[in-house]
Structure 1
Amino acid sequence: MTYQATPFILLDGEAKAAIAFYARALDAEIAFTQTFGEGPADPGHPVPDAAKDRVAHAVLKLGGADLFVADAFPGTAGPDGGRVQVCLTVPDAETSRRFFDALADGGRIVMPLRKIHFSPSYGVVTDRFGVTFQIFTSR
């Protein structure tokens, strides 16, 4: 099986400026950006007006590597999970569950593993060492 670990920079309303900076400073190509407001509506998790213009996800290409950059939801940024996280991309929900549960053992679940509009199984967990992982299952 193939897995991918990608650094994920999580900011508090500064993602657009950071993306422009990294593109310039690192000769990075901006491959994708989407704000929270541009994502599909989810009546169970409505996006507040204060979050609609924040970057929900961006992908920068640095040579052969990816760098993810996004803003936290308003009011959720802080020392918990730090500003740099690791996004683990895995091919199937069974592996996601196995990785998620192993990292949660002695750690803390930030967002339970669940189906979401961009992944059949996605969750966020901070392990026992204080490192936050986003577990992302490819479609």
Structure 2
Amino acid sequence: MIKALLPYLVTNGNGQEVLSFYKQALDAEILHLQTFGDLSDNPENPMPKENNHLILNALVRAGEAEFMLSDNQPGLPFQLGNHITLSIQSDNAEETRWLFDRLKEKGEVIMPLQETPWSSLYGQLIDQFGVCWQLNTLSHHMD
């Protein structure tokens, strides 16, 4: 079952500043915050120490509304227009696959469905109408 459909903001390396601004401006609460520095070291894809402060994933609540935020993946170009996406939060991997398969029809897969440090099944795509989607199976990683 889909648990939430959330706006997802992607920032250009200034996620900590953006998060601080929205926390104050919206009287928001940070429910979850994970930085690139929180990831385990991967010798095949080492992360430079100067990227440790970048936000990998944040969940923010403002009143009764929630949104998510992350910094752009280090090394990838930041593209205006893709800095606001929609994130589907599901509690079932089969449903995530089903939704992903339907949304990707005539679209473009950006990141195939896979296990990540924050999700048991996660993927990104742009649908045939140019809407950017992130599909996330909720798991123990977001507790």
> TM-score scaled by structure 1?
0.89
Superposed, which structure 2 residues align to 1:33-44 within 5 Å? 33-44=33-44
Asked whether the 8 Å contact 1:36–1:51 carries over to 2, the reply is yes
1:69 is matched with 69
Shift of 1:82: 1.1
Asked whether the 8 Å contact 2:72–2:78 carries over to 1, the reply is no
Q: 1:26 to 1:35 in 2, by over 3 A?
A: same
Q: 1:120 to 1:134 in 2, by over 3 A?
A: same
Superposed, which structure 2 residues align to 1:22-101 within 5 Å? 22-79=22-79, 82-101=82-101
Give the root-mean-square deviation of aligned CA atoms.
1.8
Q: 1:20 to 1:102 in 2, by over 3 A?
A: same
CA distance in 1: counterparts of 2:47 and 2:128, whole angstroms: 30
Gaps of 5+ in 2: none
Gaps of 5+ in 1: none
1:109 is matched with 109
Runs of 4+ in 1 over 4 A off after TM superposition: none
Q: Secondary structure in 1 aligned to 2:95?
A: helix
> TM-score scaled by structure 2?
0.87
Q: 1:41 to 1:55 in 2, by over 3 A?
A: same
Size of the aligned set, in residue pairs, is 139
